[in-house]
Structure 1
Amino acid sequence: MAPSRWDRLPGGRLLGGLLALGLLAGCGHDAVRRAPPRSASTRAWPTVAPADPASANAVLMRALGLVGTPYRYGGNTPEGGFDCSGLVNYVYRDMLDLRLPRSSRDLAAMQGPRIPEDRLATADLVFFGSAGAVSHVGIYVGEGRFVHAPSTGGTVRLDRLDGPYWRDHYSGAKRVLH
Structure 2
Amino acid sequence: SVYGISLARTARDQYRNSSRISRTHLQQGDLLFFNTRGGVSHVGVYLQNNKFVHASTSGGVTISDLYDPYWLRRFVGVGRLNTEPGVVKQ
TM-score by length of 1: 0.43
Moved over 3 A (4+): none
1:149 aligns with one of 55, 62, 68: 55
1:104 aligns with one of 3, 11, 30: 11
1:28-47 to 2 correspondences below 5 Å: none
TM-score by length of 2: 0.82
1:56-112 CA-to-partner distances (Å, cap 9, x unmatched) read: xxxxxxxxxxxxxxxxxxxxxxxxxxxxxxxxxxxx71xx132111100000011x4
The two structures, once aligned, show a CA RMSD in angstroms of: 2.0
In 2, the alpha carbon distance for the partners of 1:171 and 1:100 equals: 19
3-state SS, counterpart of residue 72 of structure 2: helix
1:158 aligns with one of 52, 63, 83: 63
3-state SS, counterpart of residue 156 of structure 1: strand
2:80 counterpart residue number: 175
Q: Indicate the structure whose relative CO is greater, using CA pairs within 8 Å and at least 6 residues apart.
A: 2
3-state SS, counterpart of residue 60 of structure 2: coil
Q: 2:42 aligned with 1:136, yes or no?
A: yes
Q: Which runs of 5+ in 2 are unaligned?
A: 84-90
2:87 counterpart residue number: none
Indicate the structure with greater helix content.
1
Q: Is the 8 A contact 2:19 2:82 kept in 1?
A: no
The amino acid across from 1:172 in the alignment is G
1:3-152 to 2 correspondences below 5 Å: 93=2, 96-110=3-17, 112-129=18-35, 133-150=39-56, 152=57
Indicate the structure with greater strand content.
2
The amino acid across from 1:103 in the alignment is T
In 1, the alpha carbon distance for the partners of 2:36 and 2:54 equals: 17
Per the TM alignment, residue 113 of structure 1 is displaced from its structure 2 partner at its CA by: 2.4
1:14-62 CA-to-partner distances (Å, cap 9, x unmatched) read: xxxxxxxxxxxxxxxxxxxxxxxxxxxxxxxxxxxxxxxxxxxxxxxxx
The amino acid across from 2:68 in the alignment is G
The alignment covers a number of residue pairs equal to: 83
Per the TM alignment, residue 115 of structure 1 is displaced from its structure 2 partner at its CA by: 0.7
